[in-house]
């Protein structure tokens, strides 16, 4: 009978990836930048992940899904890890991130408006003139968009 490597106290990296839905390369990356704690090793030198790794990786994935940058996540982990954090500290970080998200939304809405207007002026024919290419070539789009680079 094959051994189940899916128990929460003896996971291989591939098991951790399957359990959390996280890509193996992403797990390696998080380990490399210090966001995931080093797992203990088996006598043969294999990494063995436990429940704390599943919990940490789930936290990282949720934070990334909400758009937090890695340094913001590092700050959140620091607050959570020291135990003496206050909700006010976490809220301050959350509000700052929310403001950034709202700014990105405004930028994307401006981009959408320019694209929608420009594409609507395209004829879709074999004519050599194209409004979209003209806007891209001559920079005639709104100045605010030239300074915006959505991530």
Q: What is the CATH number of the domain that holds 42?
A: 1.10.1660.10
Helices (H), the chain: 13-20, 24-32, 51-65, 70-82, 87-121, 131-138, 143-146
Q: How far is CA 98 from CA 95, 101, 104, in A?
A: 5, 5, 10
User: What average pLDDT does this structure show over 33-56?
Assistant: 93
C-alpha dist (Å) from residue 25 to 34, 46, 47, 118: 14, 17, 15, 39
40 and 91, same domain (yes or no): no
Same domain, yes or no, for 75 and 112? no
State the total domains in the chain: 2
Q: What is the pLDDT of residues 11-22, one digit of tens each?
A: 999 999 999 999
Question: End of a domain among 61, 85, 109?
Answer: 85
25 and 47 part of one domain: yes
Q: Between the ranges 43-47, 84-88, 106-110, 129-133, where is the mean pLDDT highest? A: 106-110
- Residue linked to tokens 């063995």: 48
- Find out whether 30 and 57 touch, Cβ atoms under 8 Å: yes
pLDDT higher than threshold 80 for residue 58: yes
Lowest mean pLDDT among 40-49, 52-61, 113-122, 129-138: 129-138
Determine the Cα–Cα distance for residues 141 and 147; give it in Å rounded to an integer. Answer: 11
Residues 6+ apart with CB under 8 A from 88: none
Which of the listed residues 39, 58, 85 is the one where a domain comes to its end?
85
Q: Which domain holds residue 49?
A: 1-85
Residues 77 and 102 both lie in one domain? no
What is the tens place of the pLDDT at every residue in 73-105? 999 998 887 776 788 888 999 999 999 999 999
């Amino acid at each position: 009978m094959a051994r189940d490597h899916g128990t929460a106290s003896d996971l291989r990296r591939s098991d951790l990836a399957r359990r959390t839905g996280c890509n193996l390369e992403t797990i390696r990356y998080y380990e490399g930048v210090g966001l995931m704690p080093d797992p203990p090793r088996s006598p043969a030198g294999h990494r063995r992940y436990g429940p704390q790794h599943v919990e940490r990786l789930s936290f990282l994935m949720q934070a990334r899904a909400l758009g937090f940058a890695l340094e913001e996540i590092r700050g959140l982990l620091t607050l959570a890890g020291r135990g003496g954090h206050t909700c006010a500290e976490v809220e301050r970080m959350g509000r700052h991130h929310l403001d950034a998200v709202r700014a990105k939304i405004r930028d994307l809405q401006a981009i959408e408006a320019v694209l929608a207007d420009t594409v609507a002026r395209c004829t879709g024919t074999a004519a050599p003139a194209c409004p979209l290419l003209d806007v891209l070539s001559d920079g005639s789009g709104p100045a605010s968009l030239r300074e915006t680079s959505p991530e």
